[in-house]
Amino acid sequence: MFKFNSLPIVLLLGLIVIFTSCQSSEEQEKESVQKIEKVSIAEIEAGIKAFIDQKTTENGGVFPVKDENHDLKMKLVRVHTEYLSNLGPERHFACVDLVDESGDVYDVDFFMEGKPGAMTVTETTVHKLNGKPFYSWKQNKEDKTWYRVALEESTNRLLGVVEGSDEFQFFYHVSVPELQSEARMWVPVPISDHYQQVEVLEMQLAGETVEIEDQEYGNKFVYFELGPTDSGKEIKLSYAVKRKEKGPYEAPSPNPDLYLASNRLMPKGGRFEEIAKEVLGPKINDSKLIQARALYDYIIDNMRYMKFGDYGNGDSNYACDSKTGNCSEFHSFFISLARSVDIPARFAIGASIPSDRNEGGIDGYHCWAEFYADGKWWPVDISEANKYTALATYYFGRHPANRIELSRGRDLQVNPGPQEGPINFIAFPYLEIDGKEVKAPSKFTFQRSENS
């Protein structure tokens, strides 16, 4: 159980303010300098990591975490340097992200005593699971002590996340523009996997069609050959979708020719390697999981979600130069950085289904990424984490249930294929007229099932 003499950072900082309120500003500044000189945040971080490494070695490669509600075997993801604190002589507080064997990410509060490199953890408590807190802190008005308060079951639904599972009908609509000559079009067809079950309800097509597949990623398409007589026709594809929330999942080692290679707009090496190594610093010797989290945080901290300029192409160089873009730039930049330090990573695209209503239009496509570490593929959604910082921990290792994946991979090679070469990525249809890509009017809509 939590002892009141093992006080949290909020209380201890409050006490410091009370006890020093009668001191002169000169005295306070002098004491502050002395404290900083005694131990630095970097030393505390090093001490925490050394402690975790030691206990991990002693326990067969896992770090045990026990409190009144949990008995977990964990691995380190990151130490929150923004929350590292020196509470007093040889007393420290840290907030640490650890992942268990299932891939769940836990935020654990550490209270420690001792000098860096020789610390003893006096208490650990599990504060959050996948970004959702189990408790908060509240101050007693009478004696000013602090205590933990359990939180009721919360939901992320208002922040766009449907947890667990979701069921909906997804409608893919394309209007064939006015055609003066022959044209060709490719439309992705979502496929079933462990996380989404897709049933075709209706296909209203036009022109001559055939189903094709790309051999590298397994994507499926309807390929159209269209002519002037197809002008103005409506193409409708309807699906019933059952989707599960996606977490880290075990998989064989990925093909390096696909997931450690450069793509046309998603290169590796060069400045991407330089940036990745600079971001990682000494973490270059840590696990791929720790490295991926550092790259994830770097993009959240340094990019702005902005639909401006030549965005929406998934161009890593554009993202690197402008530090702006939509989801395609965020995840392309991450993949370029990850692959440059030998972390396999991949790109996928589809649509996010609104969580706050049960029918209507969908605001365009959405894309995301996965990286491979510790024998698992780890889902990430960095652009959503950038928008909703409260969900940054959730989106490192989670994709919500309210989405549909339409295709995965970059530089997609199909037969027949476009004259301009492989398809960069595909969610909306790829229409080719006279050998050039032309945007086809299209939209996504949905209807959520009543039992969702």
- 82 pLDDT band, cuts 50/70/90, is low
At 337-393, the pLDDT tens digits run 999 999 999 999 999 999 989 999 998 999 999 999 999 999 999 999 999 888 999
Q: In total, how many domains does the chain have?
A: 3
Kindly give, in sequence order, each residue whose CB lies less than 8 Å from that of residue 405, ignoring residues fewer than 6 positions away.
190, 193, 195, 196, 348, 349, 350
At 243-275, the pLDDT tens digits run 999 999 999 999 999 999 999 999 999 999 999
Q: Which domain holds residue 179?
A: 165-242
Instruction: Express as a percent the part of the chain with pLDDT over 90.
Output: 61
Residues 263 and 374 in one domain: yes
Residues 261 and 378 in one domain: yes
DSSP 8-state symbol, 274: H
User: Taking the chain, what is the end-to-end CA distance rounded to the nearest angstrom?
Assistant: 39
Q: Of 144-153, 222-231, 254-263, 338-347, which gets the smallest average pLDDT?
A: 144-153
At 295-347, the pLDDT tens digits run 999 999 999 999 889 999 999 999 999 999 999 999 999 999 999 999 999 99
Residues 348 and 434 in one domain: yes
Residues 49 and 147 in one domain: yes
Residues 220 and 111 in one domain: no
Kindly give, in sequence order, each residue whose CB lies less than 8 Å from that of residue 344, ignoring residues fewer than 6 positions away.
254, 256, 259, 260, 338, 371, 372
Domain finish residue from 154, 178, 193? 154
Alpha-carbon distance of 258 to 251, in angstroms, equals 15
Question: What b-and-e string marks burial along 275-294, b requiring 16 or more CB atoms within 10 Å of the CB?
Answer: bbeebbeebeebebbbbbbb
The enclosing domain of 305 has a CATH number of: 3.10.620.30
pTM check: above 0.75: yes
**Residue 209, pLDDT score:** 97
- 138 pLDDT band, cuts 50/70/90, is low
**CA nearest neighbour of 396 among 324, 334, 333, 313:** 334
Residue 450 maps to a domain:
no
Domain finish residue from 242, 260, 292? 242
**Residue 38, pLDDT score:** 52
Q: Of 156-165, 212-221, 281-290, 311-320, which gets the smallest average pLDDT?
A: 156-165
Domain finish residue from 115, 130, 154? 154
Residue 282 maps to a domain:
yes
**Residue 148, pLDDT score:** 66
At 390-422, the pLDDT tens digits run 899 999 999 999 999 999 999 999 999 999 999
**Residue 124, pLDDT score:** 78
